[in-house]
């Protein structure tokens, strides 16, 4: 079986390829634009994207949507994380939180998979805090300001460790469990 990983991020394709290889499921990177509705719910964004792709005749695929949700900012930037990262960047988030003591946040990743005509949607999460300054040189996006353990940023830990605890890693594990149930 072959699943299309529909994304503009080749790094995601590598993660999915590794996670699904034990099922004899191969992946291919496909860049297709699809409608991404504006919603505060990652599952709704993914569901609508899946519906759009299926209505276009595409099957056997994976899509995902992710965001960083900061408790004291009422979940902001949430589903708007990519746009906020492009515009105000980590410095902007740190300035917004300069005087904030409650620094709890989470990264969330929702994966939608269409396989053998059936849909799977899972949500993975990584809880943590927003640091007071950027730390580390690895990773991308909000990794330098997010810590899962209160000590190291995600940009300070090795990729193999990050993949075990990250929101996407968690979601991929849930996806694999659902695929196991489906194909035995």
Phi, psi (deg, nearest 5) at residue 60: 55, 70
Q: At what angle do helices 167-183 and 10-20 cross, to 10 degrees?
A: 40
Hey, which CATH number is domain 2-183, 3.30.565.10, 3.40.449.10, 3.40.50.720, 3.90.950.10?
3.90.950.10
Specify whether 65 is catalytic.
Answer: yes
Could you state, in order of their start, the residue ranges of all structural domains in the chain? 2-183
Query: For residue range 112-155, what is the model confidence (pLDDT) as tens digits?
Result: 999 989 999 999 999 999 999 999 998 788 999 999 999 999 99
Query: For residue range 102-111, what is the model confidence (pLDDT) as tens digits?
Result: 999 999 999 9
Indicate whether 160 pLDDT > 90: no
- Rounded to two decimals, the pTM is 0.89
In whole angstroms, give the CA distance from residue 136 to residue 141: 12
Catalytic residue selected from 41, 60, 65, 91: 65
């Amino acid at each position: 079986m072959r699943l299309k990983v529909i994304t503009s991020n080749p790094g995601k394709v590598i993660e999915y390829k590794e996670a699904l290889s034990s099922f004899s499921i191969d992946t291919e990177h496909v860049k297709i634009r699809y409608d991404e509705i504006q919603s505060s719910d990652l599952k709704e964004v993914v569901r609508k994207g899946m519906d759009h792709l299926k209505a276009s005749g595409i099957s056997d695929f994976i899509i995902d949507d992710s965001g960083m949700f900061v408790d004291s900012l009422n979940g902001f930037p949430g589903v708007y994380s990519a746009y906020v990262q492009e515009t105000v960047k980590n410095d902007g988030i740190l300035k917004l939180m300069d005087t904030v003591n409650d620094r709890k946040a989470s990264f969330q990743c929702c994966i939608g998979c269409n396989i053998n005509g059936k849909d799977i949607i899972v949500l993975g999460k990584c809880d943590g805090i927003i640091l007071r300054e950027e730390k580390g040189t690895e990773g991308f996006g909000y990794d330098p300001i997010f810590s899962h353990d209160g000590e190291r940023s995600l940009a300070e830990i090795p990729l193999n460790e990050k993949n075990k605890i990250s929101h996407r890693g968690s979601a991929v594990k849930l996806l694999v469990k659902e695929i196991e149930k489906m194909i035995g």
